[in-house]
Every structure is written in C-alpha cells, then in structure tokens.
Amino acid sequence: MTTRINKRPWLDSALPVAARVRLLLSEMTIEEKIAQMVQISYSLIAGQEADEWASKGAGSFLHTLGDDVRRLQRIATESRLGIPVIFGIDAIHGHAIHNGATVFPSQLALAASWDPALAERVGTVTAREVAAEGLHWTFSPVLCLARDTRWGRVDETFGEDGYLAGKMGAGIIKGYQGDDPADKDRIVACAKHYIAYGESAGGRDSYDSSVTMRKVRDVFLPPFAEAVKAGCLTFMAGYESIDGVPVSANKTLLKDILRDELGFEGFTVTDWENVRSLMTRQHVVASMKEASRVAIGSGNDMIMTTPEFYAETLALLSDTGDGARELASLVDESVSRILSVKFRAGLFDEPSKVRTVPLALDPEAAERAKAIGCAEHGRVSLESARKSITLLKNETVDALPALPIRGPRGARGRRDECRQVSRIAVVGPVADSVKAQFGDWTFFTHPVPNPGAKPAFRVTTMLDGLRAAAETEGATVLHDKGCNLVDPSVESIARACRLAQKADIAFVCVGDSIDHNGECKDRADLSLTGRQNDLVRALGAVCAKRRIPLVAVLVNGKPLDFSVVAAHCDAIVETFNSGTFGGEALADIAFGHCEPEGRLPISFPRATGQVPVHYDQLPGWHGGKYADCAEGPLFAFGEGLSYSAFRYESVALSRDRARAGESVDVLVTLTNEGARDATETVQVYAHDRVASIVRPVLELKAFAKVRVKAGETVTAIIPLAVDSLSFVGADGRRALEAGEFDIRAGHDSRDASLLTAVLTVV
C-alpha cells in the first residue's frame, strides 16, 4: 500500500479531496485531462473501440452492464495513471435496464405518495442494486416540472409542482448518495434536466422553452436548488434552448446561477449529444471546434456522446495564445470537478467500488448480485405502489361505494360496509401488460430497445393481482382483453361485455404503453388510443343496467384525456406505471386490505386543447373557460380519496404577523368522519393578496401526512417558512414583499377544498 501511495500520492485517503485532486491533476497530460471529460455510450461504441477509449482514459461510460463494466474498468485502471471510470446508468425507477432488478413505480407515480422518506428508501434500494453491478452513478432524479402534458417524459417527473418535486427529489438523492457516497452500497445522483425542459414549445421534446429568465428562476429553479442543498453531486444540462440560448451554451445557467449562486460543487454532464447539437441541430456554431470551445466556456464538465470533442479540444489547446491558456485553465477546473466526485464517491479507495475481475471469478460480486431483485427490495416496491395508487372517484352503486370489495371468504372490514362479489370481470388492453405497467426506462426500452423481452422475474399485472386476491377470498375472475391499445380491428368489446353481464363488478384497465409514452413519444392528442373509449362506454351501459360497479384502473404514463372514463365509470383508480408489484398493490386497495392514500402530483385536463392545466396558474379575468370545454381540470393537483372521509374544521396560524427568516405554524384541524382509520395528506397553499407582479392563484408551500383514526379529530401542526412566500420579481431577484398572504389548507388544490387564514408579513 505504501509503495502504491509513494508512486501515486493521491491514493492516500487521509488527504483532503482537494489535495488529492491537485496531486493527480499535476500528473496528467493534456490528453488525459480532455479524456476525463469524455463520456462514451456503450450502446453506440462497444468492443475494441470502447476498449481504446478506456485505455485513453475516458472519464465515463454509460449504458454498460455485466462483464463489459469489468473489462473497461480493468483497462482504465491499468492505464498510465490508473484513473477509474465512473459508470453511469439510467436507473430511473429502479435499476430497471437490468432485466432482473427491482422495478419501482415511475417518478410520477411515486410523487403521488407525497412521501419523501419513501423516495429515500426507493433511492437506497436502487443504489444497492446499481452498485452491485459495479456501476457508480444514476442519471436520476428528473426535476423537470411537467407543465405541458403532451410532452412524452411527464412520467419521469415528480409532477407539475416545484415544491413537491424538490422534496421528493431531495429524498431520493439522499437515498442514492446516503451520508457518504463512498459507501459501497451508494451511488452518485444526477439532477436533470437543468432547466425548464418540461415547458418546451408544444410539449415537443428538446424544443425551445420560450420562458423568461425570471420564470426560470421563480418556477423551475427551486427543485434544483433543493437538489444542491441535498448534496447532489452531478447535474445534467437539458437538450432545450431557453428563449433561444441552448442550455449547454448558457454560462449564466451553468456557472453563474448553478455554481456561484446555488453553491453547487459537483460536476455537470451534458445530455446526449448536446455539444454536437450546438452545431448540427441548434446551429449556434459552425464547427465542432467552436462547439467544444463554447461547451467548455459555458460550464459543461463532462460531454456525453460527442467523442469528437476530444480531438477538437486537443486542437484548440494546441494553439498558442491567451484563448488557449484560458481554455486550458477551464479544462483543469472541469477535470478537477470530475476527479473530485470520483474521489468523493470512493472510486480510488478501499474497499473498492471499482470492479475489474470478470464476474465468474469474483465471488463477492456473486454475493452482492443477490441483492438485485431480492424479496426485501420487492417489498419496498410493493409499498411504493400501494402508497402511489390514487383513488379518484368512488361512487355509490346499489347503496354501497363501488370499492372496496371482498370475496365470499373475505373477512376483513365490517361486512355491512364492504361490497361482496363472487365474479369479477377484469378487462381492458392494459390489464395484463407488463410493458404498459413498467413504462419507460426498463429493459424493454433501453439501452437497446427490446419490446419483446420477457422479464426474468415475476411481475404481478393488474389481472394477476386481482385474480390472486379473488382466489384467496373465494371469488372468480373472468378476463378478456376487450380491445387493443392501437389496432381497432382486433377487438372483442362484445365479449368483454358478456363477461360484465355475468359479473358482480367489472374492472376496466385502460391507459397507454411505451408506444405512446416516454422519451420521443410526445402526443398531439391525449385521447385514449384505439377503441378504449368505446370499450368503456359499452361496459358502462351494461354495468349501469345491471346496477353493478364499473371500476376504471388507469395504467398510464401520464395524464390523458379520461373524460369518457369519468363519465361512465363509478370508480377510478389511478396506478400510473406501478412497477413489479403494481397488480398486487391494486388488489390490496380494491379488496380493502389497505387504504388508498395517493394524491395527484399533477392536474388532468378535460381535453388535450385545455393543456396547460397546472394548478398554479396566473389569473386572467374571463374565467379560464373555453367555449367548448368546462372550466378547470378534470382531476386537480392534490386530489385523491380514501375509503374514509375527512372534514376540515379550521385553519389557524400560531401568529398572524411574521417577518423574513421566521417560521409560522399552520394549525389544521380535521376529523375522520369515516368508519376506517386513514391517512390524509394535509396540503398548505399560499396566495399573495397584492404583489408587484401577477402571482399564481395558489402555490403549494408545505404538506404533512397525518394518520387519523376513525371518528377522531386531530390538529396537524405544519411549519411554514415565511421566506417561502418570496418570489422572483420583475428585476429578476428573489425577494419577500410585505403584505397579506392567504394561507390556505385542505384536502387538495380546488378552491372549495381549502380553508383560509391570513398572514401579514411585515
């Protein structure tokens, strides 16, 4: 060890990271430095060519699995300075690109739990599975705000609200990185896509986000600021331009705001081909040499999938003169940041996170691989799915609420309150579809798309879950697909209706799949595809006539136009992309084994043309109506039912005057009027009565989940930081303006759900 350290003094873990970085940097040639800034995708460059990049010292590879990781790492660590590769992967909802790993609900689904501590546990499990593969870095979380639901990547976000996204994001970052990212079971997180990517023109991926810098700071920056506070070690620059300036060419964003104002100390990575696109797609430079110069000058540290950056930068630096000197010093800064993260992530230290031995010869790897997809991790996935599922409607049919149900042998709950069913029709194109249930970013879609892949593990689809629960309780499930997601000719709506004729309740599972959802799958029309609406209408008619409930189970990446579903179904259960155990979680809720507690992290439009419908709108004065569409969303941000009913009694403040830097307690009293213990998510919003610019009608400022026993009244005490009432004004600066604020608390963002107290900021 001592000889190693004598030869390579930066290996001395007793030294501070900054000193280790300086020691290593001083040994590096300019070629080695630029190579550290290069990130190669193994899905584009593999085999011999990839090996050459590893021996040249490429800083990072992405989308590499199994023994390829080990081979490339061996080559890198045997090169002149032995700098390890940092391997990145899109572990977006679990390490799901690895067929066999635990698949969690999508970020959007997880956000419906409103539970940052749960997000942390999801992050912890994901980190353990990614690290077991010898990888170090996930390109997660996505902190974009889903403002235009035509966008294909809404499923990847924590929804439309910056406060909720910030809390969930900080939770999952803590889970990935832990207290010490060098721990063998932890990985590096990446906050992406910085910034305003979720409001691109027309919801078209990677198009210009025509927002002002004031709005960037006011609306889109807060969740990223939370990520910095949570210690997130890397940030990814988005594809889009903002008001004409590509993010990867925007020094104000990447340097002035991110580093100087927010104090970010990690490194930035571009998104896929961002630097090449400066020339080939966004046309802000005429050559790759210029693109490379702009990229470095703007504050990009690692360059994803533009390997020509290496030769172009080398050529730039071989010039003499001030320009080249300045560039060389920026390269030093970028490389220092990359090395610093590698040191902090423990890549240079023992016990080693750098795996170089082939899997077959590495008993420790075999041992650690047991964590991938293990039962304990599965339980966290199941719990996440349960807590994400959101009950949006539950009407009374024949004197009982549509849900929950029980079979003839089911004993749970008070018998008189639970609908007993013997035959359950389960129909719909996504009732038995793993592909639809998983959504984007799994082994079906990345890195080499394989929609025909078979999961190497057991997945409970909606049908599986309902069938298993029904059997346990002595009921039978009758199944038919009813129709396909796209092809209108292969359908059996009439057959599905015949099943509903024989059943005591019908579940219709509708939504979308990876053909209509995910990156590069933006939609111009959010209506249900194929004959799904026809299926819902036909079943609705049968069920209404027979006075049996029709329950819609939504399996979808994001809000679609569910107006037909809302009109014809008695109950609606939103599951989004719920992961490995989605069907079991649905059954637990449908059979009343657990309470639904999800709340929507995003608003649902009544029609595609109504988008955007996010709740924090700036007010107009003509009511927001269209001549052909009712006002307001179909389902609002924060909405979600339980099997109990909550009555909000009052909202009060610990004091009614406060100043900057202080905190006020919001005291919300509510009663569980139902017959079951249940969890309520108390939401606290604010509205600025008079401000120097037009402010949103409401903004979420705090929330708390409270468990309330049946019949009990509780008072939730929720701290509100007065500074959170600040906003970015016309001068581009964040400030707190004195005056009166409506502090509104209640069940969801709908006006009628909220009680108000007034806070005066002095």
CB 550 within 8 A of CB 569: yes
Residues 629, 157, 95, CA angle at the centre, nearest 5°?
140
Q: Measured from the CB of residue 308, what is the shortest distance to ligand BGC in angstroms?
A: 18
Q: Measured from the CB of residue 462, what is the shortest distance to ligand BGC in angstroms?
A: 28
**Which residues, 6+ apart, have CB-to-CB distance to 147 below 8 Å?**
160, 198, 199, 612, 614
DSSP 92: S
Of 107 and 533, the one with the shorter C-beta distance to ligand BGC is 107
Rg of the chain taking only CA atoms, in angstroms: 27
Q: Measured from the CB of residue 138, what is the shortest distance to ligand BGC in angstroms?
A: 9
DSSP 256-321: IIIIIIT---SEEEE-TTHHHHHHHTS-S-SSHHHHHHHHHHHT--BEET-THHHHHHHHHHHS-S
Of 40 and 316, the one with the shorter C-beta distance to ligand BGC is 40
Beta bridge partners of 236: 269
Q: Measured from the CB of residue 447, what is the shortest distance to ligand BGC in angstroms?
A: 7
Of 201 and 490, the one with the shorter C-beta distance to ligand BGC is 201
Q: Measured from the CB of residue 235, what is the shortest distance to ligand BGC in angstroms?
A: 12
DSSP 153-197: TGGGSS-S-HHHHHHHHHHHHHHHH-S-TTSTT--B-EEEEETTG
Pattern 346-385, ligand BGC, x by CB under 6 A = ----------------------------------------
Of 97 and 338, the one with the shorter C-beta distance to ligand BGC is 97
Q: Measured from the CB of residue 205, what is the shortest distance to ligand BGC in angstroms?
A: 8
Pattern 181-220, ligand BGC, x by CB under 6 A = -----------x----------------------------
Site for ligand BGC in 7-66 (CB under 6 A): 62
Site for ligand BGC in 608-637 (CB under 6 A): none
Q: Measured from the CB of residue 175, what is the shortest distance to ligand BGC in angstroms?
A: 18
Q: Measured from the CB of residue 290, what is the shortest distance to ligand BGC in angstroms?
A: 23
Residue 99, exposed/middle/buried by CB under 10 A (0-12, 13-18, 19+)? middle
Q: By CB under 6 A, is residue 272 in contact with ligand BGC?
A: yes
The encoded tokens of residue 422 equal 């013997």
Of 302 and 369, the one with the shorter C-beta distance to ligand BGC is 302
Q: Measured from the CB of residue 305, what is the shortest distance to ligand BGC in angstroms?
A: 8
Select from 560, 517, 553, 559 the least CA-distant residue to 535.
553
Q: Measured from the CB of residue 51, what is the shortest distance to ligand BGC in angstroms?
A: 21
Of 428 and 439, the one with the shorter C-beta distance to ligand BGC is 439
Of 206 and 679, the one with the shorter C-beta distance to ligand BGC is 206
Q: Measured from the CB of residue 279, what is the shortest distance to ligand BGC in angstroms?
A: 18
* SS3 assignment, position 80: coil
Select from 291, 328, 331, 332 the least CA-distant residue to 308.
291
Q: How far is CA 494 from CA 430, 505, 537, in A?
A: 17, 17, 12
Q: Are strands 303-304 and 137-138 parallel, antiparallel or unpaired?
A: unpaired
Of 90 and 574, the one with the shorter C-beta distance to ligand BGC is 90
Of 235 and 507, the one with the shorter C-beta distance to ligand BGC is 235
> Hey, what amino acid is at 581?
F
Within 10 angstroms of residue 131's Cβ, the number of other Cβ atoms is 22
Site for ligand BGC in 492-531 (CB under 6 A): 519
Site residue total, ligand BGC (CB under 6 A) = 7
Q: How far is CA 55 from CA 179, 350, 626, in A?
A: 33, 22, 61
Q: Measured from the CB of residue 182, what is the shortest distance to ligand BGC in angstroms?
A: 23
* SS3 assignment, position 340: helix
Pattern 686-725, ligand BGC, x by CB under 6 A = ----------------------------------------
Site for ligand BGC in 60-79 (CB under 6 A): 62
Of 62 and 347, the one with the shorter C-beta distance to ligand BGC is 62
Element holding 665 (H helix, E strand): strand 663-672
Of 504 and 519, the one with the shorter C-beta distance to ligand BGC is 519
CA distance 212 to 209: 9
Task: Return the half-sphere exposure (C-beta side, CA atoms, 13 A cut-off) of residue 367.
Answer: 3
Backbone φ and ψ for 154, nearest 5 degrees, come out as -60, -35
Of 198 and 428, the one with the shorter C-beta distance to ligand BGC is 198
Q: Measured from the CB of residue 272, what is the shortest distance to ligand BGC in angstroms?
A: 4
Residue showing tokens 């303006």: 737
CB 569 within 8 A of CB 536: yes
**Which of 32, 90, 148, 512 is close enough to bind ligand BGC by CB under 6 A?**
90
Q: Measured from the CB of residue 41, what is the shortest distance to ligand BGC in angstroms?
A: 7
Q: Measured from the CB of residue 519, what is the shortest distance to ligand BGC in angstroms?
A: 6
Q: By CB under 6 A, is residue 271 in contact with ligand BGC?
A: yes
CA distance 706 to 683: 11
Q: By CB under 6 A, is residue 155 in contact with ligand BGC?
A: no
Helices (H) and strands (E) in the chain — how many of each?
Answer: 23, 30
**Which residues, 6+ apart, have CB-to-CB distance to 541 below 8 Å?**
none
Q: Measured from the CB of residue 139, what is the shortest distance to ligand BGC in angstroms?
A: 4
CA distance 198 to 203: 7
Residue showing tokens 């209108």: 488
Of 272 and 648, the one with the shorter C-beta distance to ligand BGC is 272
Site for ligand BGC in 104-133 (CB under 6 A): none
- Angle, helices 288-298 vs 308-318, to 10°: value is 80
Of 277 and 683, the one with the shorter C-beta distance to ligand BGC is 277
> CA dihedral in degrees (738, 223, 621, 629; nearest 10)?
-160
Select from 356, 315, 316, 355 the least CA-distant residue to 132.
355
Of 42 and 727, the one with the shorter C-beta distance to ligand BGC is 42
The encoded tokens of residue 373 equal 């997809």
Site for ligand BGC in 426-445 (CB under 6 A): none
Q: Measured from the CB of residue 736, what is the shortest distance to ligand BGC in angstroms?
A: 35
Instruction: Return the residue nearest ligand BGC (CB atom).
Output: 139
Binding site residues, ligand BGC, CB under 6 A: 62, 90, 139, 192, 271-272, 519
